[in-house]
Chains A and B, each alone.
Chain A
């Protein structure tokens, strides 16, 4: 009976130490601010933490994002309309013309987004801005290629 108690105590101690080691190691390697930001869906908390931004800088970025939203909506609407027209197109000539127009609209959308990202990057310290821009562009490319599960380790630095 005494032996069982001793063994139980020993195993309990080992398990406790293992749990503590796991917890400390996990906490040390996990980014809690990002984790909480994901849970709260608060991208600006993450951005401020990730790119070491001041309150003034983050407020400016928020206003830039808000100002860009109607521009983005307009691009989206134009593309939707272009796609709808392309579906309805009857002649081959009309199709070619509408396809060309659609490519132009998508390019405009892409360029607009890149310009917006550059504007946001300009609000950050130079190195952080470059890192932000590279991270966003890489993710956009990966998303466009359908590689949703790609790792962004390369731009973490």
Chain B
């Protein structure tokens, strides 16, 4: 990416053949510095957002998974209770209807 940047190209070229106008060279160097800073800021910002997004996703998925397991376990116990009651009601209806 840097190889295609005209500012970087110019800087590389000037390392061999420095420009005659020192003011222009200074301005170009400043511009390059600013660009690098902007680029770094952009990547840092992007990195932070990526980290935040991954953490948020992981948190949401973990909470969803945990909720699923808790509800699943409750469902299992409730189903077992229901089927045992159903079985006992079949073999001993009076006891169940008397409750």
Contact = CB atoms under 8 A, between A and B. Distances in A.
A112 to B, nearest CB: 9
A35 B96 contact: no
Contacts of A75: 94
A65 B93 CA distance: 13
A92 interface: no
Contacts of B38: none
A29 B66 contact: no
B13 interface: no
B77 A19 contact: no
A55 interface: no
Contact of B77 (A37, A68, A116, A152): A152
A82 B69 CA distance: 49
A46 B82 CA distance: 11
Given A19-B64, A38-B83, A25 B94 contact: no
A31 B64 contact: no
9 contacts: A14-B57, A14-B61, A18-B63, A23-B68, A26-B72, A38-B82, A109-B94, A151-B77, A152-B84
Given A26-B68, A41-B86, A135-B84, 15 more contacts: A18-B60, A21-B65, A21-B68, A25-B64, A29-B76, A30-B75, A34-B83, A35-B79, A38-B83, A68-B91, A80-B94, A113-B95, A139-B84, A143-B95, A143-B96
Given A38-B86, A47-B87, A146-B99, A14 B56 contact: yes
A144 interface: yes
A27 B94 CA distance: 36
Nearest to B75: A30
A148 interface: yes
Interface of B: 53, 56-57, 60-69, 71-73, 75-77, 79-88, 90-96, 99
Interface residues of A, number: 51
A7 to B, nearest CB: 10
B66 A25 contact: yes
A40 to B, nearest CB: 10
Contacts of A35: 75, 79
With most chain A CB atoms within 10 A of its CB, the pick from B60, B67, B72, B85 is: B72
A139 B64 contact: no
B85 A34 contact: no
Contact of A21 (B64, B81, B85, B91): B64
